[in-house]
Structure 1
Amino acid sequence: MKGEDYIQQALQTESQPSEEQMSRVNLRILHALMGLQTETGELTDAVKRHIFYGTPLDKVNLVEEIGDVFWYIAILMDELKVDVGDKASFEHAMKVNIEKLRARYPNKFTEFDAVNRDLDTERKILEQ
């Protein structure tokens, strides 16, 4: 198959949002999500270089990138109108995340538990 043929066939399956759908696009949420992808990519690249290229693990840089991840999460939380008193606050999100993980891994991580999850129980925990 030629590259041009592939492109033409790929375009036939591309989703084309309507004007109405585009008017609902929240650019602030999109910015936060793209920023999270960028920062996690930078974290991954730093660890990759350490593992595969033998560069020193730059913990100062890693902490900086983690801080950038927090920043984008803060933008996302703000855009979702999450208040500190709201049950979806940072504190609540952290609390229910740990409760969900405790339900999933009652003693410690196991591959069996990772695959055999009780999604109904996890959802109930997240909805509290």
Structure 2
Amino acid sequence: MTQNTLNNADYRAAVLSTESKPEALNFGPATLLVALNMAIAASVALDQVKRAIYYGRDMDQKKALDAINVMQSAGEALKFPIGTGRYRDPQDVHFFMQNLPEEVAKNLNPEGLDLRLLHAAIGQFTEAGEFIEGIVPTLLGQPVDKVNLLEEQGDSSWYGEIALDALGYSREQCNFANIKKLTDKKAGRYQKGAFDSNAAIDRDVSAERELLEEGAAQ
């Protein structure tokens, strides 16, 4: 039986031909910043769940609760611009004077924002949410919908390909750098080539950065 496959060069070409490329942000920068901070906080809280399940470690309760508090605060702050339809206001920083540090509000400037990377970041985050949504029914006794999860994983890959193109890397370079960071015999996270829960938590971030830089230069 013939497998339905697509090589990565052709895949990237197809991705780029279907990519949306707006010329301007057209969204309130402060509203965006608060929304992104809420997303980061959600990922931090869920990362603690991941560590408890897969690394056999207790949750860092303070870190998780701090993240939940950020989500709650950000959610409340976003109600005004979203509820009033003023989320595109380019001067929206005054909506958030009680939520943003003065220095952050003063220096907020979307001019340096790469819209392609933003697209990839938000897209991969939302697709991860849809992937999670797809596995929730299995927690309630339903079978896995493999086609749905394949769709969500494919959509996440689509956004990932945009990120790599915007950064100037190939998928193969990304794969190489990632595995080098994890399994390099001298400084990799899992130097023995297998998962280690202690190494997963007690990471040498500086050494990993060096490995990534080496991998990215290949």
Q: For this structure pair, what is the TM-score category when the shorter chain's length is used for normalisation?
A: 0.7 to 0.9
CA distance in 2, matches of 1:17, 1:39: 33
The one of 16, 24, 48 equivalent to 2:136 is 48
CA distance in 2, matches of 1:17, 1:78: 32
Task: Say if 2:150 is the partner of 1:63.
Answer: yes
1:4-26, CA deviations, whole angstroms, 9 ceiling, x for partnerless residues? xx86xx7413243657x122223
CA distance in 2, matches of 1:17, 1:75: 31
The one of 93, 99, 109 equivalent to 2:180 is 99
TM-score in terms of structure 2 length:
0.46
CA distance in 2, matches of 1:17, 1:60: 47
CA distance in 2, matches of 1:90, 1:98: 12
Q: CA deviation at 1:127?
A: 0.8
1:73-112, CA deviations, whole angstroms, 9 ceiling, x for partnerless residues? 11222223x1xxxxx3211110121111112112321221
Consecutive unaligned residues of structure 2, counting only runs of 5 or more, are 1-75, 78-95
CA distance in 2, matches of 1:18, 1:118: 32
Consecutive unaligned residues of structure 1, counting only runs of 5 or more, are 1-5, 83-87
Identity %: 38
- Secondary structure of the structure 2 residue equivalent to 1:72: helix
TM-score in terms of structure 1 length:
0.75
Confirm or deny: 8 A CA contact 2:97 2:105 kept in the other structure.
Answer: no
Structure 1's 78 and 12: CA in aligned 2 closer, same or farther, altered over 3 A?
A: same
CA distance in 1, matches of 2:150, 2:171: 19
The alignment's C-alpha RMSD in Å is 2.2
The one of 125, 133, 140 equivalent to 1:37 is 125
CA distance in 2, matches of 1:118, 1:60: 38
- Secondary structure of the structure 2 residue equivalent to 1:117: coil
Aligned to 2:201: 115
